[in-house]
Structure 1
Amino acid sequence: MNRVALAALALVCLANPAAAQSATDPVETVRAFYAKDDIGAVGFYATRLRALYERDRREAGNEVGRLDFAFTVNGQDTEANWQKTLQLVALSDDVALSDDHERAQVQATFRNFTPQDLRYDLVREDGRWLIADVRSMTGQTWDLVTILSSKLP
């Protein structure tokens, strides 16, 4: 591949991380989601999670809704350079790499003031891996679908 074509491909992927979602690698979907750095990037969400997130935003209006923290970093604040500690691993290679499976799980570990361990549950929809749920496994544990399914305070 020549340099011009390679540079164009890199620009497309950087300009639109959702384009980097993978039909075969759920880890790359989570990596692209982190690169987007926006919990409102609903293009990465499976149908149910997207509906719950959009309902929360709609019902909350200009106020804080059910989700009062950035789940991607498990907090409201971030430690400098936390991204450098981010490690993403498929927890089941046979599920993650097999075309006949519809579910996968990716572990995200990093340091944001304390060690963090998040589990991303992904489902394949329309040929792409999308985030169906996220759970915190350390400290105060939580489940994103449960949070977004609860009643507003």
Structure 2
Amino acid sequence: MTSRLARQRMLALVLAGLVAATWRLDTASAETTHGGPSSAAPVDTVTALYRKPQGLSDGPFLSARLRRLFAAQRARGHRTGDAMAGLDFNYACSCQDYDDAFKQSLSYAETGRTSRSATVTARFMLFGAGREVTYSLIRENGKWLIDDISGSAGPGHDWVMSRLLRMR
């Protein structure tokens, strides 16, 4: 009986090890096949954000500060029963309505960089009109992560994500 119990424990340990190894490979695969934040170039992080499959979290692309701001705004929304104030649009296209065709026209430009921060602008066409969204990135944990986002939804409709996330 003890031998049987020992075999069952050994089998459980082997299975747990396989599950852990598979999870690590899957996580690494998701980060490489879907891009994930880049340790090499800020523009690679922004490119990967736009290329990630819809439905996957943007969290891995965001700095700790921006993730905290999103979490605080979500918590305020839950407390008050309101949707997230000021966030009734998709920041990736600075729009409410879109189709994925805008991704075909995307171009990226690194418009500023120091050793610890960078700015990347994504430009694209949306329903025949030119748009751009600017990403401010910082170096955090060895990767370039998005620390703020800004854009315009038309004349007089400029926005900065960190300001919107502080709205009550």
1:4-153 → structure 2 map (5 Å cutoff): 12=30, 13-14=32-33, 16-18=34-36, 21-36=37-52, 37=54, 40-61=57-78, 63-66=82-85, 67-79=87-99, 81-92=101-112, 95=113, 101-113=115-127, 114-137=129-152, 139=154, 140-151=157-168
Q: What is the rounded CA distance, in whole Å, between the counterparts of 2:42 and 2:100 in structure 1?
A: 27
**Cα shift readout 1:95-123 (whole Å, capped 9, x = no counterpart):** 2xx7xx10000010011222111110000
Residue ranges of structure 2 left out of the alignment (5+ in a row): 1-28
Deviates more, 1:71-80 or 1:46-55: 71-80
State the 1:131 CA deviation. Answer: 0.3
Percent identity among equivalent residues? 28
Deviation at 1:40, TM superposition (A): 4.3
User: Match for 1:33: what amino acid?
Assistant: L
Q: Given residue 136 of structure 2, which amino acid in structure 1 is its aligned partner?
A: D
Q: Take 2:152 and 2:126, find their aligned partners in 1: how far apart are those partners? A: 14
Q: 1:32 & 1:44 partners in 2: Cα distance?
A: 9
User: How far apart, CA to CA, are the structure 2 residues paired with 1:117 and 1:39?
Assistant: 22
Distance 1:90 1:39, change over 3 A: farther
* RMSD (CA atoms): 2.4
Q: Secondary structure at the match of 1:73?
A: coil
Counterpart residue identity of residue 132, structure 1: D
Whichever residue aligns with residue 26 of structure 1, its letter is: P
Q: Say which is worse superposed, 37-46 or 22-31, in terms of deviation.
A: 37-46
Greater share of helix: 2
Aligned residue identity for 1:91: T
Q: TM-score, normalised by structure 2?
A: 0.71
Q: CA separation in 2, counterparts of 1:85 and 1:104?
A: 23
- Structure with higher Rg: it is 2
TM-score (norm 1): 0.77
Q: Where do 5+ consecutive residues of structure 1 fail to align?
A: 1-10
SS, match of residue 94 in structure 2: coil
Q: Would the alpha carbon gap of residues 38 and 105 (structure 1) be closer, same or farther in structure 2, given more than 3 Å must change?
A: farther
